[in-house]
A and B are shown apart, each in its own frame.
Chain A
Amino acid sequence: GQQVMQIPQYQHVQEGEDFTTYCNSSTTLSNIQWYKQRPGGHPVFLIQLVKSGEVKKQKRLTFQFGEAKKNSSLHITATQTTDVGTYFCAGPRGNYGQNFVFGPGTRLSVLP
């Protein structure tokens, strides 16, 4: 079946360092979504990418969708303690699926 993988599983960084998580799908995706889950919280939507090669920025966060629409990345510049949490990517099942397959997530720890 359709699979979405993420690496790394865990990342520990010093505050101020950069961080990147990578997401790979076994199938071509019509779009990809990213969510953040703070410790003890629930996933919260960050962004959706739809176009091949698309790059979107949210302050220190940069999201990229691969040319083949099978991979994506999230890069955080100069991490802060508020960035702590688990970052999930999610791709729709099939073409224009109504529900999503989530990756296992990357847990980010930021040391002050």
Chain B
Amino acid sequence: DVKVTQSSRYLVKRTGEKVFLECVQDMDHENMFWYRQDPGLGLRLIYFSYDVKMKEKGDIPEGYSVSREKKERFSLILESASTNQTSMYLCASSFHLGTSGASYEQYFGPGTRLTVT
């Protein structure tokens, strides 16, 4: 059974702290993603990685960085947490590009609800 796991379901941090969110997938997927989900805004892409040590900025990368040292693991780092980063963070993974216009489905982890006080 395919699996994407995230290090914490709930996290409470203080303003200014450095925060690490970890994501691990066991499906040998090339692509991994970090999203944040806020009511009414859907899923917004923070960063995307298509290979080890490779990353691309998404729509809202400001205040975040990522690390992918191994294929199965993708970390999201909040360098100095702020209250406006309180949100649900979702990790996802997928295989690389499909053929004939098709893409591969994304598998999501259970999410980490981060509260910054």
Q: What is the total number of residues of chain B having a CB less than 8 Å from a CB of chain A?
A: 29
| CB contact under 8 A between A43 and B90, given known A99-B48, A103-B42 | yes
For chain A residues 23-80, which have a beta carbon within 8 Å of chain B?
30-31, 33, 35, 41-45, 48, 50
Residues of B within 8 A of A41 (CB): 110
The secondary structure that dominates the A interface is loop
Q: Is the CB of B40 within 8 A of A9?
A: yes
Residue of A45, A99, A103 with highest tally of chain B CB at under 10 A: A99
| CB contact under 8 A between A104 and B42, given known A98-B50, A99-B31, A99-B58 | yes
Q: Cα distance A1–B58 when bound, in Å? A: 12
Among the 9-residue stretches B64-72, B75-83, B100-108, the one with 4 or more Cβ atoms under 8 Å from chain A is: B100-108
Residues of B within 8 A of A35 (CB): 106
Residues of A within 8 A of B41 (CB): 104
Binary CB contact string for chain B from 35 to 64 against chain A (1 if under 8 A, 0 otherwise): 100001111110010100000101100000
Residues of A within 8 A of B107 (CB): 45
Counting from the closest, the 5 A-B pairs by CB-CB distance are A45-B105, A104-B42, A42-B108, A102-B43, A30-B101
Of the candidates A33, A42, A50, A103, the one whose C-beta lies within 8 Å of that of B111 is: A42
Residues of B within 8 A of A99 (CB): 31, 33, 45, 48, 56, 58
Residues of A within 8 A of B35 (CB): 102
Task: Give the interface of A toward B (CB within 8 A).
Answer: 1, 9, 30-31, 33, 35, 41-45, 48, 50, 88, 90, 92, 96-105
| CB contact under 8 A between A31 and B42, given known A42-B108, A42-B109, A98-B31 | no
| CB contact under 8 A between A43 and B108, given known A98-B96, A99-B48, A103-B42 | yes
Smallest distance from the beta carbon of B60 to chain A beta carbons, Å? Answer: 12
Residues of B within 8 A of A101 (CB): 45
| CB contact under 8 A between A98 and B108, given known A31-B102, A43-B43, A92-B103 | no
Q: Is the CB of B108 within 8 A of A100?
A: no
Apart from A99-B31, A104-B40: 7 A-B pairs, beta carbons within 8 A = A1-B59, A33-B103, A43-B43, A43-B106, A88-B42, A96-B101, A98-B50
